[in-house]
Structure formats: structure tokens, C-alpha cells
Amino acid sequence: MKRIEAIIQPHKLEDAKEALKNIGVDGMTITEVRGHGRQKGHTEVYRGMEYKVDLLPKVKLELVVPDPRADEVVRTLVNAARTGKIGDGKIFVSEVADAIRIRNDDRGDAAL
Amino acid sequence: MKQWTRIIPWLTVLVLSVGVSLAQSLPPDVAKKLDDLDKAAKNAQMAGDNAWMLTSSALVLMMTGPGLALFYGGLVRKKNVLGTMMHSFILMATVSILWAIIGYSLAFGEGNAFFGDLRYLFLRGVGGDPNADYAATIPHQTYMVYQLMFAIITPALISGAFAERMKFSAMLLFMTLWSLIVYFPMAHMVWGKGGLLNAALGGKFPAFDFAGGTVVHITSGVSALVCALYMGKRVDYPSETMRPHSVVLSVIGACLLWVGWFGFNAGSAVAAGSLASSAFIATHFATAAAVLGWMVMEWMIAGKPSVLGAISGAVAGLVAITPASGFVKPMPAILIGVAAGVVCYLMVSKVKQMFGYDDALDAFGVHGIGGTLGALLTGIFATKEVNDLRMGKPMGLIDGDAGQVMNQILAVLISWGLAIVGTLIILKITDAVCGVRVSKDQEMEGLDLTMHGEEGYNFEA
């Protein structure tokens, strides 16, 4: 099993969700996060006081899929979330040791 | 309309004298009818004026809560939103009780030139009959409660300067002493019978302050500066991110302030006549002009027209037109508004940075400076065409009386002086009794948790 963690632009969330649904991915977890990579932040001015805002809002999508599906899911996410500009985000893929469905003790791929 | 109001006294005398002379020759029921008619006319006027003044009282209270509470609450960080709103809200209770016990008497009792006597202690003698000196056509009680609303918002304005770092107990003591030592005397000097600066009731140096440029905005704004300097900067100011946590709340607050201010300024006519309309209109146009003045300045200098700038401009305009509202025509009101927008913008965005004091929510830059500007410009633009307080004699500089400008300057100096000295003494006393500032740890954690044991936003709840 692979855990796919994608940090994307918030306005790309709908596209990503739709694309995953189309290839038959059922489950995901979403978190609103803030962060930055190479994309630098912006400056806000309140009554003449300048504030540098370098942590920008992003959405983090997490999903765990059976090994054979990982590449397809990553490709789908890249296509759906890409605008081609700095700030599009990143995807991290890692191994998952096990998965358990709380409702009925299903294990491994059956729990996904 | 004006000619009519002028002949009303003559008409009344005529009717009465005819009534009296006919009373002997006419059957007694006719005399009684005339008498009843006179009473009915008076009651009708009182009903109209009283309706507007009770409404105005409620409007001015709405300026403090939720108006100012939202305006200030949105500008602080979210760990201090409740503490900041509480500064405004708790004064709605504290000052009210103080006012009932002694405040109204000290401000409006006929004492000496500087403060009132104790004739209205515990509101003794303040009842349904009008007090002819202050407002002949509304119950004395209405006048008293209307003035109370001003006494509530004035100290609440100061809280913008010491936001995010003052101890709650110290705030209560400070505000109580400040009302007693600064506000009540200043209100008496300008509006109380026999007060030094009273323009309508025998002041030695009559100053025009229709709704509180000196009494409300200079005293609170200048005291705010003293507080900011005395208490020092917030921890890490200005390096840490101290962005307003919700300009949205501030927009709602500013809009409520704009609406409530009609009660503040137009209500200061203490009647529902044409002077109230004139003040209402001057207030509105000055505010609109100040919004545009601030926005254009910011757009040119900083590059973007911010929403916070636009609403700050509105408050600056409302402040500056306050002393002038019952004395000036619409076009001078627009000039006053533009001046306030431009000057207050430069004050909070440039001058404050130059000196580096931490007037957290710009109570001085907006209220102190806007109030001073308005008080001085009132001396220039006041005209007898709007308010014939001097029975045909010139009012301000545009009427040809340069002397009034001097009186305005004197009133400004007295209010600045009283605010500086009074506030310094009060801060020293408060500091000695309970310490004015929270500990560094408490400040980092936020006033909501450390002072009140609550949080403003419990989204997981």
C-alpha cells in the first residue's frame, strides 16, 4: 500500500477530487494547511504597517491506495492540480505498513 | 420654516394675552379651552422631540456596542478579540452606574466653571419635567440618559491605544478615575451650565463644540496617546505579525458607527427640528468625503486602496465633523471631511511610524488628531445661517468673526492639557494600586484566556 500526500493550491481541490472520482478512487482526507516552498509569499499593508506573509494557504490531500494504483493516482493528481506556475505544490509517496477498517477489522488492501 | 419658528413666541404671547383679556368677558370654558390648547401643543412638541432623542440615545449606545466593539475587535489578533470587545462592553455597565450615582451631577449640575455640583447626586430631581437650561422640550430624564451614552463611548475609544496588553482590573480602575477626573469636568466646561467654555449658557470663553470634538474625541484621543507612551509597546511590536484578525468585523463595526453617529451628532440638537436635519446632513457628507480622501491618499502613496483604509477614513470624517456638525453647511462639511481623511491617513501611516509609539488601534491618530482638526475648523466654518446661537451676530471666521478661532484654540489647548495631565496621574495611581500591564507570558498567551478564561473562536466546539 502507498500513502499519497498531495499539497496543492486550494482552488485546484475541486478539479483534483473530480479527477480522482473519475478513476474510481473512493476515499481521501483533506486538511487546510499553510506553507511555502520556492514560492515566496506576499506583502499586506494595514494602515501603513507592512506585514510579510510567507505561509500561504494550501490544501493537503491524503489517500492510501493499493501498490498497483499508486502511479495512476499520482499522474491524475498532477494533471488535475497543475497550473504551470510556481506554487502548484508537491506530492509525496510513501510505504504504508498496514491498514485497518475500524468498523469490522478488515486488514490490508481490503480495508482501503 | 425659519420665519414661522421666529414668530411662534409672539403668537403665543398674542394668543395668551387675548386669552387673558377675553377671559373676563368670555365664558370661563373658552379660557379653559385656550389653556388646554396651549398644553396640547406643548405635549405634541415634547412627544416629537422625545421620540427622536430616545432613538438617538439608543443609536449612540449602539456605537459602543456593538459598533466600537466590532471595529476594535476585528483589528486585534484573535487571541485578544474578547478582551478587546469587553473593553467597550463593560463600560456600558460601569459608566452607567457611575453616571447615575455622581457622574451626571458632576457634568451637568450647575457648579463652578470647571465642574458641576452635587444637586443631581443619585439622579435626585432628574424627572419627567424638562430642564429648560439644557433641553426645554424633552424630559430631563431623556437628556440625562442621552448624555450618558456619550460618557460611555468616550473612555471606550481610549481602549484602542492599550489594546492587547492592559490588565482588566487596571482597565476598570483607570476608566472609573478617568471618567471622574477628565470626562465629567470636560463635559461640564463645554456643555454644563456656567462651564468655562459653554457657548450657550454663559461660558467665559464660548467654544463651539456641537457634539463633542473636544469633550469626546480630543480627550479620548490624547489620553490614548499618553496611555500608549506610558504602557510601552506590545511584546515584539512591530516585528511579529500583528495583522488584524478580521477586517470583516471591523467593516461591520464601522458601518454601525456611521449609522449610530447620526444619533450622536443630529441628536445633539436635543430636538427634532431643522437643526437636527442640518447636523445629520453635515455628518453624512463629511463622512463620505473623508472615506474618499483617505482612500485616494492611500492609493497614491501605498499603491492599493485598502478596505481598512476606507473604513478608517469614515471614522476620521465622523470624528472631525462632530464639533462642527450643528454649525456648518454641507459644502464646508465636505471640506472638513476631506481634510480629516487626508490628515488622519498621514498621521497613522507615516507620523506614527516615524515616532514608533504603539497606539495599537490608532485612537490618537484618528480621534485625537481628527478631533483637533474638527474643533479648529469649526471656528472657521461655523455660520449663523445654520445655527443662530448669537442672535444674528457672526459665528465663525466665514461669518467675519476671527475671534471664534481663538476660542476654539483655547478649548483645544484646555482639552489636550486636561487629558495629558489627568491621564498621567490616573495611570500612576492605577499602576501603584494594581499594575497596568499584564505579564509577558499573559500577553503572549492572549488576554482572552488569561483575563477572561475564554476563547473567541471555538471552531471545534
Taking an 8 Å cut-off on Cβ atoms, the answer to whether B241 and A51 are in contact is: yes
**B402: in domain:** yes
d(CA A28, CA A44) in angstroms, rounded, equals 34
Query: For residue range B150-173, what is the model confidence (pLDDT) as tens digits?
Result: 999 999 999 999 999 999 999 999
Closest chain A CA to residue B348? A47
Q: What is the side-by-side strand order in the sheet with A56-65?
A: A29-35, A56-65, A2-8, A89-95
Query: With bands split at pLDDT 50, 70 and 90, how would you rate the model's confidence at B293?
Result: very high
Of the partner residues B241, B244, B353, the one whose CB lies closest to the CB of residue A48: B353
Averaged over B164-192, what is the pLDDT? Answer: 97
Q: What is the pLDDT of residue B21?
A: 60
Averaged over B281-291, what is the pLDDT? Answer: 98
Closest chain A CA to residue B242? A51
CB contact at 8 A, B425 and B181: yes
Give which of B240, B246, B294, B308 to mutate to test A binding, by max A Cβ within 10 Å: B308
A103 touches chain B (CB under 8 A): no
Taking an 8 Å cut-off on Cβ atoms, the answer to whether A48 and B238 are in contact is: no
pTM for the whole thing?
A: 0.87
Please list every residue in chain B whose beta carbon sits closer than 8 Å to the beta carbon of residue A44: 243
Query: For residue range B390-438, what is the model confidence (pLDDT) as tens digits?
Result: 899 999 999 998 899 999 999 999 999 999 999 999 999 999 999 999 9
Among B111, B66, B230, smallest CA distance to B161 is for B230
**B49: in domain:** no
Instruction: Give the count of domains, chain B.
Output: 1
Cell numbers describing residue B440: 509577558
A102 touches chain B (CB under 8 A): no
Amino acid at B130: P
pLDDT above 60 (res B193): yes
Helix axes B140-158, B168-178, angle to 10 degrees: 130
- Buried b or exposed e, range B212-245, using 16+ CB within 10 angstroms: bbbbbbbbbbbbbbbbbbbbeebeebeeeebbbb
CA–chain centroid gap for A111, Å, is 21
Q: What is the pLDDT of residue A52?
A: 82
- Buried b or exposed e, range B390-401, using 16+ CB within 10 angstroms: beeebbbbbbeb
Per cent of chain A over pLDDT 90 is: 71
CATH of A2-111 given 3.30.70.120, 3.60.20.10, 2.102.10.10, 3.50.50.60: 3.30.70.120
Determine the distance in angstroms separating the CA of B294 from the nearest CA of chain A, rounded to an integer: 10
Cα separations (Å) of B93 from B87, B145, B151, B426? 11, 13, 11, 21
Query: For residue range A98-107, what is the model confidence (pLDDT) as tens digits?
Result: 999 999 999 9
Cell numbers describing residue B454: 475564554
**B51: in domain:** no
Query: With bands split at pLDDT 50, 70 and 90, how would you rate the model's confidence at B18?
Result: low
Taking an 8 Å cut-off on Cβ atoms, the answer to whether B302 and A45 are in contact is: yes
Determine the distance in angstroms separating the CA of A45 from the nearest CA of chain B, rounded to an integer: 8
Cα separations (Å) of B362 from B43, B215, B313, B329? 45, 18, 12, 29
Taking an 8 Å cut-off on Cβ atoms, the answer to whether A48 and B241 are in contact is: no
Q: A83 — phi, psi (to 5°)?
A: -115, -15
CB contact at 8 A, B11 and B3: no
A43 touches chain B (CB under 8 A): no
pLDDT above 90 (res B24): no
Query: For residue range B25-53, what is the model confidence (pLDDT) as tens digits?
Result: 667 789 899 999 999 999 999 999 999 99
A54 touches chain B (CB under 8 A): no
CA–chain centroid gap for B312, Å, is 17
Q: A108 — phi, psi (to 5°)?
A: 60, -145
Averaged over B122-139, what is the pLDDT? Answer: 96
Query: With bands split at pLDDT 50, 70 and 90, how would you rate the model's confidence at B10?
Result: low
Cell numbers describing residue B50: 422625545
**B20: in domain:** no
SS3 content of chain A, % helix, strand, coil (to 5): 30, 40, 35
Please list every residue in chain A whose beta carbon sits closer than 8 Å to the beta carbon of residue B238: 49
Q: What is the pLDDT of residue B28?
A: 78
pLDDT above 60 (res B22): no
Give which of B353, B357, B358, B364 to mutate to test A binding, by max A Cβ within 10 Å: B353
Q: What is the pLDDT of residue B26?
A: 66
Taking an 8 Å cut-off on Cβ atoms, the answer to whether B349 and A48 are in contact is: yes
B248 touches chain A (CB under 8 A): no
Mean of the per-residue pLDDT values of chain A: 92
Q: What is the pLDDT of residue B1?
A: 47
B241 touches chain A (CB under 8 A): yes
Q: A82 — phi, psi (to 5°)?
A: -80, 135
* Domain of B349, in residue numbers: 58-452
Of the partner residues B241, B304, B349, the one whose CB lies closest to the CB of residue A47: B349
Q: What is the pLDDT of residue B7?
A: 67
- Give strand ranges (E) for chain A: 2-8, 29-35, 42-46, 49-53, 56-65, 89-95
State the burial class of residue A13 (Cβ atoms within 10 Å of its Cβ: 0-12, 13-18, 19+): middle
Q: What is the pLDDT of residue B240?
A: 64
A51 touches chain B (CB under 8 A): yes
Quote the DSSP letter at residue A99: -
**B19: in domain:** no
Cα separations (Å) of B430 from A36, A66, B169, B227? 46, 68, 9, 12
Mean of the per-residue pLDDT values of chain B: 93
Determine the distance in angstroms separating the CA of A49 from the nearest CA of chain B, rounded to an integer: 7
pLDDT above 80 (res A18): yes
Among B214, B225, B183, smallest CA distance to B420 is for B225
Averaged over B329-333, what is the pLDDT? Answer: 98
Taking an 8 Å cut-off on Cβ atoms, the answer to whether B348 and A45 are in contact is: no
Determine the distance in angstroms separating the CA of B331 from the nearest CA of chain A, rounded to an integer: 28
Q: B177 — phi, psi (to 5°)?
A: -65, -40
Query: For residue range B219-272, what is the model confidence (pLDDT) as tens digits?
Result: 999 999 999 999 999 998 877 668 899 999 999 999 999 999 999 999 999 999
pLDDT above 90 (res B187): yes
Residues within 8 A of A (CB atoms), B 285-304 only: 302, 304
Averaged over A70-95, what is the pLDDT? Answer: 94
Specify the CATH number for the domain of residue B406. Answer: 1.10.3430.10
